[in-house]
Amino acid sequence: MLQNTVSQSRRSFLSRTGQLTTAAAVAGLAGGVGREARAAPGNCLVGETVNVKETHYLLSDVRLEEGFEKDAAIVVATSTALYTLEIKDGKIAALHPKGAALPQGLPTYAADGQLALPIMRDMHIHLDKTFYGGPWQAPLPRQGKTIMDMIALEEKLLPTLLPTSVERAEGLIALLQSKGSTIARSHCNIDPVSGLKSLEHLKLALDKHKDDFVCEIVAFPQHGLLHSKVDGLMREAMQMGVDYVGGLDPTNVDGAMEKSLDAMFQIALDTGKGVDIHLHETSPAGVAAITYMIDTVEKNPALKGKVTISHAFALTTLNSGALEETAVRLAANGMSIASTVPIGGLMMPLPQLSKAGVFVMTGTDSVIDHWSPFGSGDMLEKANLYAQLYRGSDEYHLSRSLAISTGGVLPLDDKGNRAWPKVGDEAGFTLTRASCSAEAVARLPVRSATFHKGRLVSGGVDKVSS
């Protein structure tokens, strides 16, 4: 279970230093979209990607977690062992312990003792509009600017971004893959300026990566569902392979909370889609919006298990009793929270939500655009932030913090039994030079190779035999 305490001093320290950390992580990202080279011991980058073309092969000397080592009742270390993974048709066909007899005649690649981590999932990103891949461009000052001011600025920027949006989306996909993510959920602008062009371009980029990247799409009325009068466009988008109906701050942007949310939910109900709304509001209106959404899902069983609230900053304003009640209702209706694990003044109650059974996801949001320049595209970094914010500095809680980045998939369960990988699982994982997941979360080592359904999609491994 993710830990649920944090001190004010720790929180203040992170709010002062976190931007420096993330800024360092993305240094140089804006200038190029090429994939990272393979990482060698000591994080020295060498060599080129070795393309694994076979559908049935062996990957030797993969480090997998075996269990927790304890001193009395305290987890003090994680035991691991080396295995050869037999991968066939995109799945793990067998886990061969070191020294076991191996199938003969199969192509063999070497992981060189590197740790395998479950594939990462970036469940809130905007692949369709970004400065990434172009020249450095910092956002304009935000002081005194309202969200409506930012929308007005975006209306001017979108025509300049559209001509290169396919290539830049592909660059972001390559960045995510290099950090170990091959599963994502991307919000995509549906607005009067770009119409359906942003969606068309995003789909072109995703189609080029249909074999190495999985991405759900949210039709996002960035300029307000009611304010920009895009109900018709949103409905058209639903017929173009979109998975979720989006929304944005129904009070601050649309000026009519119930009417805006009703319109959003109606599109979802009419088309059988899910919902993923941006809710930044921290005023009482934000709390009212969350309550109204829960009420709506309770009245419409077709929406249960299909609604995500992104950001949900209003939850930070609730007292413990109100938070517990809200969390129980969110969980009962299968409503999830997507959070970037923010630092600073807003302390999201993510552990309390998880404890109540709410599924909590994380994501990049912006890598670099007119909103923020600090995104690294690294979900392991989000687990690191989670561990720091919620006092997860010991072996056990560091290992548990990884869950927010992998959709809940962990190498070991809470009792220390191996939960991943298992025979029959999809062969999706990333390799890194760490002794265990706790070290990986704490130290953020370079990911040297990423596999998606058995395909090497980023980085490289050594060929041993063919």
Closest CA to 367 of 6, 29, 24: 29
What local confidence, expressed as pLDDT, does residue 142 receive? Answer: 83
pLDDT at 262 over 60: yes
Condensed to tens digits (0 to 9), the pLDDT of residues 52-68 reads 889 999 999 999 999 99
pLDDT above 90: percentage of residues in the chain = 85
Distance CA 11, CA 388 (A): 9
Q: pTM for the complete prediction? A: 0.89
What pLDDT was estimated at residue 344? 85
Q: Kindly tell me if the per-residue pLDDT of 242 is higher than 80.
A: yes
pLDDT for 145: 84
Q: Taking residues 423-439, what's their average pLDDT?
A: 98
Task: Give residue 248's identity as a one-letter amino acid code.
Answer: L
Record: fold of 8-31+121-396: TIM Barrel (3.20.20)
Q: What is the mean pLDDT of residues 102-119?
A: 97
Confidence of residue 110 (pLDDT cuts 50, 70, 90): very high
Task: Evaluate if residue 460 carries a pLDDT over 50.
Answer: yes
Higher pLDDT, 25 or 299: 299
Q: What is the mean pLDDT of residues 68-86?
A: 97
Locate the domains of the chain by residue range.
Answer: 8-31+121-396, 41-119+410-465
**Does residue 24 carry a pLDDT above 60?**
no
Q: Please give the pLDDT value at position 50.
A: 63
pLDDT tens digits, one per residue of 270-280: 999 999 999 99
Q: What is the mean pLDDT of residues 384-413?
A: 97
Cα 466 to Cα 456: distance, rounded to the nearest angstrom: 16
Q: 41-119+410-465: which CATH number, 2.60.40.1150, 1.25.40.20, 2.30.40.10, 2.60.120.620?
A: 2.30.40.10
